[in-house]
Amino acid sequence: MTAAAAAAARAETAVAAAISVRELSVRFDADTGGITALERVGFEVPEGGFVTMLGPSGCGKSTLLRAIADLVPIGSGAIHVFGRTPEQARRARDFAFVFQDATLLPWRSAIDNVRLPLEVGQRSGAIELNAEPEALLALVGLEGRENALPHELSGGMRQRVSIARALVYRPRVLLMDEPFGALDEITRDKLNEELLRIWRETGTTIMFVTHSVPEAAFLGQKCLVLSAQPGRVREFVDIGFDEPRTLGMRDTLEFVEVTAYLRRLLEEPR
């Protein structure tokens, strides 16, 4: 091993894991026998990384994301977000969550919805303002629609508002639970490209749940494939396309090979 390679390896280990999950098990209705949603799941997401999560329905991908976000109690094992427990990380506003529905307050304008995180949960100390809410709406391409009420916006626009809201307090991790699942394909493609741009511009670590194979392959540097009942890690696939990724890339042979591989992982029983 050359000195340079050794230095590179040291640098690699020195990079802190943004999310580290070890031997995680989650059970629902534990007192009545119940079902095991996740069993001995373990993986790490490096800081600044983009990891997608793929799996058959009922494999517990949402449960895993919710456990990281302190929305679901952990059975056994451990989760750390920048070395903190999910609860500590939540109170420190280390992460933001983007839901499948935009979850906007219908009586608030777009800009006031983006401001919501700055108005609540202030007990845990001053919250760092990432950017002016106006600038964030511009970042997600909603310049000029600041005062629109949610019912005046399309589904895609509402989801853009919810992404701007998630970014307003400079989270170090963005947890996204099928955020584009309810959108039409054209809007979804556009938002996929914009999400990659936002990721590059902000350097936020992103964990992204989806049930679309092309979306998982296109967005993620790595893809965590889960198997169902109980949810286990099937494989943590390295995708590693060249940056910057473009939509046109999806028609290349290389991309099709990756999606074919991911599909095989989903279909094949272990």
Partner 1 sequence: MTTASVDGKRTGTNTGQGGRTVQDARSDRSRARRYRHAPPIIAAAGLLLLWHLIVVGFGVPSYIAPSPVQVIRVFVEQGEILWINFWPTLFEAVAGFVLGNSVAVVLAVWFVHNRFAERAFYPIAVFINTIPIIAIAPILVLILGNGFAPKIVIAALICFFPTLVNMVRGLKAVSPQMLELMRVLSASDREILWKIRLQSSLPFLFAALKIASTTCVIGAIVGEWIGSNYGLGSLIIEATYNFRAPLLYATVILGAGLAVAFFVTTTLVERRIVKWKPEAVF
Nearer Cβ to partner 1, position 152 or 257? Answer: 152
Nearer Cβ to partner 1, position 42 or 181? Answer: 181
Nearer Cβ to partner 1, position 161 or 265? Answer: 161
Match 């494939």 to its residue by tokens.
Answer: 225
- Binding-site string for partner 1 from residue 55 to residue 84, where x marks contact by CB under 8 A and - marks none: --------------xxx-------------
Among 120, 126, 186, 253, binds partner 1 (CB under 8 A): 120
In the region spanning residues 148 to 187, those forming contacts with partner 1, defined by CB under 8 A, are 149-151, 158
Among 17, 116, 131, 182, binds partner 1 (CB under 8 A): 116
Match 């991309």 to its residue by tokens.
Answer: 255
Q: Does 126 bind partner 1 (CB under 8 A)?
A: no
Q: Indicate the DSSP class of residue 211.
A: S
Instruction: Compute the distance between CA of residue 159 and CA of residue 142 in angstroms, rounded to an integer.
Output: 11
Instruction: Compute the distance between CA of residue 30 and CA of residue 99 in angstroms, rounded to an integer.
Output: 26
In the region spanning residues 232 to 261, those forming contacts with partner 1, defined by CB under 8 A, are none
Structural contact between residues 20 and 207, judged by C-beta atoms closer than 8 angstroms: no
Q: Does 91 bind partner 1 (CB under 8 A)?
A: yes
Q: Does 37 bind partner 1 (CB under 8 A)?
A: no
Q: Does 97 bind partner 1 (CB under 8 A)?
A: yes
Among 25, 103, 187, 202, binds partner 1 (CB under 8 A): 103
Match 């977000």 to its residue by tokens.
Answer: 81
Tokens linked to 132: 């002016």
We find the least distance from the C-beta atom of residue 268 to partner 1, in angstroms, to be: 34
Among 124, 154, 229, 252, binds partner 1 (CB under 8 A): 124
We find the least distance from the C-beta atom of residue 123 to partner 1, in angstroms, to be: 7
Nearer Cβ to partner 1, position 96 or 195? Answer: 96
- The gap from C-alpha 58 to its chain's centroid, in whole angstroms, comes to 18
Angstrom CA distances, 85 to 40, 63, 67, 69, stand at 18, 16, 10, 10
Beta bridge partners of 40: none
Among 10, 13, 123, 269, binds partner 1 (CB under 8 A): 123
Q: Does 104 bind partner 1 (CB under 8 A)?
A: yes
Long-range Cβ contacts of 218-222 (<8 Å, 24+ apart): 218/192, 218/245, 218/247, 218/249, 218/250, 218/255, 219/50, 219/52, 219/192, 219/195, 220/50, 220/51, 220/52, 221/49, 221/50, 221/51, 222/45, 222/49, 222/50, 222/51, 222/52
Nearer Cβ to partner 1, position 90 or 188? Answer: 90
Instruction: Compute the distance between CA of residue 157 and CA of residue 191 in angstroms, rounded to an integer.
Output: 10
- Contact segment (CB under 8 A) with partner 1 among 42-50, 98-106, 209-217, 227-235 equals 98-106
Q: Which residues bind partner 1 (CB under 8 A)?
A: 69-71, 90-91, 93, 95-97, 99, 101-107, 116-117, 119-121, 123-124, 149-151, 158
